Amino acid sequence: MEFTSKQRSYLKGLASTEDAIFQIGKSSVTPAMIQAISDALEKRELIKISVLKNCKDDPRELAEIVAERTRSNVVIVIGKKIVLYRPNRKYPKIVLPK
């Protein structure tokens, strides 16, 4: 799913007030973490992930890997923060602007 600039801006605004609920450390991305992120996306639709300083991987690459494995979309990567979005199929909470 590709976002329009208006949709991306809207999601960035929503994410700006949220705290990171996951941290990726030196063990990088594990299958258990992917499952937990997927579960959180199912409930919240929009989550923020923090990449810790001891993680050697590039945050942009990590964002793409996590997005692919959770079937979500990368909204933005700023520094060591990743914002992911995946709409809930049954009960969507976030309505994107057209």
- Which DSSP letter does residue 18 get? S
The pLDDT assigned to 95 comes to: 77
CATH superfamily for domain 5-85: YhbY-like (3.30.110.60)
What's this model's pTM, rounded to 2 decimal places?
A: 0.90
Q: What is the rounded distance in angstroms from the CA atom of residue 10 to the CA atom of residue 6?
A: 6
Nearest alpha carbon to residue 8 among 69, 73, 66: 73
The residues spanned by each domain of the chain are 5-85
Q: What is the rounded distance in angstroms from the CA atom of residue 23 to the CA atom of residue 29?
A: 10
The pLDDT assigned to 77 comes to: 95
Using CA atoms, how far residue 83 sits from 18, 65, in Å, is 10, 13
Query: pLDDT tens digits for 38-97?
Result: 999 999 999 999 999 998 889 999 999 999 999 999 999 999 999 999 998 888 888 788
